[in-house]
Chain A
Amino acid sequence: MKTTMEYFLFATFFLYLFSAVVFLVGVSGAKKKGNAERVKKWGKAGIILAIIGVTLHVAFIIIRIMLSGHFPTSNMFEFIAFLCFAVVLGFIIVFFIYRSFVLGAFVMPIAVILLSYATVFPRDVQPLIPALQSSWLYIHVTTAAIGQGLFGVSFVAGLVYLIHKVGNRDKSKSAISLELIFLVLIMFGSFSIVSTIFQMTGYQATFKHVYKGAEVVQEYKLPAIVSPYESKTVKMDSFAGMSKPLFESPKVFQGEKAASKLNSVLWSIVSGLIIYAIYFAIARKRLGKLLHPLVQKLNLELMDEIVYRSIVIGYPIFTLGALIFAMIWANQAWGRPWGWDPKETWAFITWMFYSAYLHLRLSRGWHGEKSAWLAVVGFAIILINLIVINLVISGLHSYT
């Protein structure tokens, strides 16, 4: 059954990938005139692939529930995979309202990046520590994630809008900011690829150091660019002539797994930059410019409405999941509905941010480009909550 489950995951991954490719091929044909029929044909195939993918994803989730006895949202792998599911689901909903194929050409690749990023984290089925054994927890996490998925769709729609509006601009601040967003997305992707490669080759490095008076052992799955503060190398496989860490991490990264997380971040940055450099050497233009022709014939008002509408659809769901159900669960688990721990606070911040967004839409001048930027910032807040808070600050919710 476990291998069946893995097959379903692979199948889901490839369907999302195919869907992404098909959408992109379809949309890239839109440049030429009279190709509307062609875009439609490919787009239809794309959405069908996405729907099959999402169905397989559901099957994967069901098998995992049967194996573990709990809903799979309780560690990083499970949660990010579920967020990917929510993004695709959100896209399908929005697609059937607005029939935008361009949106698919951008949502699906990002879903692929998300799912591959998820698989970087350990995929074992884990038993639950007592604090997580509650059905309110799953109700809370899944509902919040579906809301976040719709915010994710809005983020992508915002990106599409911005590619049209500023992608082609030369030397403007907004064009550079847009390029930075692409760079971050590439870093997510490249980190997933690098991790997968080293996981397959079984790379290992081990360090020993003293933390809070006790000796800790840190295992690296990636070659050590940076070793823990004042550590001894127990063992380090050599990689491309690299058999020693390049440098030692500064004192602030003393925590139990801090150094290996720092190492992962460095790998994301380095590998992302390398991939971007290779791309640039070949294409000789910014990604914004490369992608611009894909969205040349974009109906800007439509895309602006999608940015807004996805948020409006997601907002009640997010409120219900991330605040109301969260309070019910917190009250059950800790006897108080709210305690300002970092995760709760960031859910609150996310919610306030989207509340501010909805109010800004009431005033003039906050439609179009500004609205698209806000959608990008909103999703960045969600990712900060997910990654930075979980991995770095880690409050009561942090997954082990």
Chain B
Amino acid sequence: MVENTKCECGHNNPVGTILCEYCGKPLQQEVIEKSSIENEMRYEGAARRSQQSVMSLFDRVWAFFSSVKVAISLIVITLILSAVGTIFPQEEFVGAASKELFYQQEYGWWGATFYQLGLSKMYSQWWFASLIAMIGISLVICSLDRVVPLYKALKGQKVIKNIEFMKRQRIHVAVEVATDEEEAKLAELEQQLNNHRYHIQRDGKAILAEKGRFSRWGPYINHIGLIIFLFGILLRFIPGWNIDSFVNLIEGETKRVPQTEYYVKNEKTVAEYYRPEELPPAMKSGGGEVIKKYQTDAVLLKKVPGSNEMKEVTRHEIQVNDPLTYEGLNLLQSDFRPQQLRGIKLGITDKNTKQSKGQFTVVFHEISLHQVYQVGDLKVRMEEYYPDFAIENQRPITKSQEPNKPAFIFTIQKPDGKEEKSWVISGERLPDPEGNQYGIDLAGFDLANQTGLMVRAEKSLWVYLVGGIIFMIGVTMGSYWQHRRVWARVDDGVLYIGAHTNKNWFALRRELEMVGKPIGQVFGLVENEKE
């Protein structure tokens, strides 16, 4: 049964109200016995759902998450776990093939334990995510629990307050005034407070001076910002929402951008070094060269539907800090390898005349089977290609797709139409079949720079940005302003003054001293001990 608590001023308050919504009079016995109601003032003594005495299960959960103590515990646990996660590097920063062995070998027993407990992947563990989620829930509930009652109380606040309310403010004063001076005193006070930019409300012989109320909404706004931010993190669970991948491209190469429909071509990759005169003496003597910039001239391509042709989408000279960006997709400069093997040059000699017939270049990433190279009047056709050649069970195989030990079978077609087969295996000399007229030999290497591009996409970016901006607005409101109120009321020949602020009492007291000086009133010296 919902019962209302009626105040002597006639106002009906909801159950759980600590200070009358209307006149501010303390309603609960424990509070009546206190000399200061500073702690009750935080939410204007309004009734909050979490403060009820009879609770359903829902209310219990609500009360748990609306507690600031719980919020602080969650924050502190998250903070400690985050710190523990930095004792050893996280797995993603470890290059080793076997992560388990790495932790074991580098850091011994502690490292092995770190790995086993899953701390090496701390920030993607389900329990870390749950902590963050619980902070999120707590944020929502806690804000709702307080903001609604606070808003109602501040909106409905009355100018004339109960004397008990005023006497129990942390800062308060009571002085006798002669009846004929009452009006002048109040007017002067009003004037002085007005000079300090208080908004004044007057009701009979009472004044309410208030400033900075909007700053009370700061924390709630900043919490909304945080909630939006956390929502952005949640969205990452949608497949394809974010991409974190990598492509290596040698100059001239085109490859598919992982997890997208795009292709990227590396037209040129360069590294530029600081000239010696740009370096301070200390670095010059070091001997090593200092890198100034890495650049990849990249083209983003897309297949034309229904054909094998590519269409250029955009192009960009990618540098560190200056990625190629296209509709949320980012390609970033992150690795550079000079003079990598792009292909090999092969020469053909006529065994009979010992004369060179010419050369051709096989570029690894362009190889397609049955491709024909024209060398003089010969047509050389590629029959087989083993990038990483080995013999297994007496059959040729390739161990990987990396050109570590390339081997080829070519067919050479002579002008008269006759064909002969020829093996080329890097690092080995095979006797060509007896009858062959032509021999194929290594004539040189085709070298080019290789770039490593990070492929990244993060569709939550704007959600983070919006959340961040809202957080900043809220936190600025709450930090650089404070909500100050001064109540004054003449009753029975006594001028009562009470003052409250949500923070920075010392500064309020100093302000009131300045307010009081011109009217010969000393504020702020009388103070109720905080409990």
**Which A residues fall within an 8 A CB radius of B?**
97-98, 122, 124-127, 129-131, 133-134, 301-302, 305, 308-309, 312-313, 315-316, 319-320, 323-324, 327, 331-337, 339-342, 345-346, 348-349, 352-353, 355-356, 359-364, 389, 393, 395
Judge whether B507 and A305 touch: CB under 8 Å.
yes
Please tell me the number of chain B residues within 8 Å of chain A, measured between CB atoms.
64
Known contacts A305-B504, A340-B90, A340-B123; is A364 also within 8 Å of B39 by CB? yes
Q: Which of B318-349 contact A (CB under 8 A)?
A: 319-323, 330-334
Judge whether B68 and A319 touch: CB under 8 Å.
no
Judge whether A130 and B320 touch: CB under 8 Å.
yes
Judge whether B294 and A130 touch: CB under 8 Å.
yes
Complex alpha-carbon distance, A334 and B280, angstroms: 28
Q: Which of B437-483 contact A (CB under 8 A)?
A: 454-458, 461, 464, 468, 471-472, 475-476, 479-480
- List residues of chain B with CB within 8 A of the CB of A313: 479-480
Residue of B nearest to A366 (CB): B72
Complex alpha-carbon distance, A29 and B431, angstroms: 100
Judge whether B472 and A324 touch: CB under 8 Å.
yes
Shortest C-beta distance, B334 to chain A (Å), equals 8
Judge whether B291 and A130 touch: CB under 8 Å.
yes
Judge whether A345 and B86 touch: CB under 8 Å.
yes
- List residues of chain B with CB within 8 A of the CB of A122: 282
Complex alpha-carbon distance, A139 and B275, angstroms: 28
Complex alpha-carbon distance, A301 and B171, angstroms: 14
Between A and B, 30 residue pairs with Cβ closer than 8 Å are A125-B280, A127-B274, A127-B280, A127-B283, A129-B290, A130-B321, A301-B505, A313-B479, A316-B480, A319-B472, A319-B475, A323-B468, A331-B458, A331-B461, A332-B323, A333-B321, A335-B456, A336-B242, A336-B458, A345-B85, A345-B86, A352-B75, A352-B82, A355-B75, A356-B72, A356-B79, A359-B75, A361-B503, A362-B42, A393-B86
For chain A, what secondary structure do more than half of its interface residues adopt (helix, strand, loop), or is it mixed? Answer: helix
Judge whether B454 and A337 touch: CB under 8 Å.
no
Shortest C-beta distance, B488 to chain A (Å), equals 24
User: Which 6 residue pairs of A and B lie closest in terms of their CB atoms, listed nearest first?
Assistant: A335-B456, A130-B320, A335-B330, A134-B321, A124-B280, A352-B79
Residue of B nearest to A69 (CB): B278
- Give me 5 other A-B pairs in contact (C-beta within 8 A), A126-B280, A335-B332, A349-B83 excluded: A129-B291, A316-B479, A331-B461, A345-B85, A359-B71
Shortest C-beta distance, A373 to chain B (Å), equals 15
- List residues of chain A with CB within 8 A of the CB of B278: 127
Total number of residue pairs linking A and B with CB closer than 8 Å: 139
Residue of A nearest to B39 (CB): A364
Residue of A nearest to B320 (CB): A130
Residue of B nearest to A67 (CB): B280
Q: Which of B240-256 contact A (CB under 8 A)?
A: 242, 244
User: Does B517 belong to the interface (CB within 8 Å)?
Assistant: no
User: Does B292 belong to the interface (CB within 8 Å)?
Assistant: yes
User: Does B279 belong to the interface (CB within 8 Å)?
Assistant: yes
Q: Which of B47-83 contact A (CB under 8 A)?
A: 68-69, 71-72, 75-76, 78-79, 82-83
Residue of A nearest to B86 (CB): A342
Complex alpha-carbon distance, A335 and B323, angstroms: 8
Residue of B nearest to A335 (CB): B456
Known contacts A97-B507, A131-B321, A301-B505; is A336 also within 8 Å of B456 by CB? yes
User: Does B127 belong to the interface (CB within 8 Å)?
Assistant: no
Complex alpha-carbon distance, A13 and B290, angstroms: 32
Complex alpha-carbon distance, A352 and B82, angstroms: 10
- List residues of chain B with CB within 8 A of the CB of A360: 72
Known contacts A97-B507, A349-B79, A389-B86; is A359 also within 8 Å of B292 by CB? no
Complex alpha-carbon distance, A76 and B531, angstroms: 47
User: Does B303 belong to the interface (CB within 8 Å)?
Assistant: no
- List residues of chain B with CB within 8 A of the CB of A349: 79, 82-83
User: Does B237 belong to the interface (CB within 8 Å)?
Assistant: no
Judge whether B472 and A362 touch: CB under 8 Å.
no
Known contacts A126-B283, A332-B321; is A337 also within 8 Å of B464 by CB? yes
- List residues of chain B with CB within 8 A of the CB of A320: 472
User: Does B293 belong to the interface (CB within 8 Å)?
Assistant: yes
Q: Which of B262-307 contact A (CB under 8 A)?
A: 274, 278-283, 290-294
Complex alpha-carbon distance, A116 and B294, angstroms: 36
- List residues of chain A with CB within 8 A of the CB of B479: 312-313, 315-316
Known contacts A129-B290, A130-B320, A315-B479; is A334 also within 8 Å of B454 by CB? yes
- List residues of chain A with CB within 8 A of the CB of B290: 127, 129
- List residues of chain B with CB within 8 A of the CB of A324: 468, 472
Judge whether A130 and B454 touch: CB under 8 Å.
no
User: Does B126 belong to the interface (CB within 8 Å)?
Assistant: no
Q: Which of B80-99 contact A (CB under 8 A)?
A: 82-83, 85-86, 89-90, 92-93
Shortest C-beta distance, B219 to chain A (Å), equals 9
Shortest C-beta distance, A274 to chain B (Å), equals 31
Judge whether B85 and A362 touch: CB under 8 Å.
no
- List residues of chain A with CB within 8 A of the CB of B331: 335
Complex alpha-carbon distance, A352 and B455, angstroms: 30
- List residues of chain A with CB within 8 A of the CB of B332: 333-335
Complex alpha-carbon distance, A309 and B325, angstroms: 42
- List residues of chain B with CB within 8 A of the CB of A340: 85, 90, 122-123
- List residues of chain A with CB within 8 A of the CB of B464: 327, 337
Judge whether A356 and B76 touch: CB under 8 Å.
yes
Residue of A nearest to B333 (CB): A130
- List residues of chain A with CB within 8 A of the CB of B122: 340
Complex alpha-carbon distance, A395 and B72, angstroms: 29
Complex alpha-carbon distance, A397 and B506, angstroms: 41
Complex alpha-carbon distance, A353 and B72, angstroms: 10
- List residues of chain A with CB within 8 A of the CB of B330: 335
Complex alpha-carbon distance, A272 and B472, angstroms: 42
Interface string of B341-361 (1 = CB under 8 A from A): 000000000000000000000
Judge whether A305 and B505 touch: CB under 8 Å.
yes
Judge whether A302 and B42 touch: CB under 8 Å.
no
Shortest C-beta distance, B227 to chain A (Å), equals 15
Q: Which of A312, A316, A323, A331 has the most CB of B within 10 A?
A: A316
- List residues of chain B with CB within 8 A of the CB of A341: 93
Shortest C-beta distance, A343 to chain B (Å), equals 9
- List residues of chain A with CB within 8 A of the CB of B42: 362
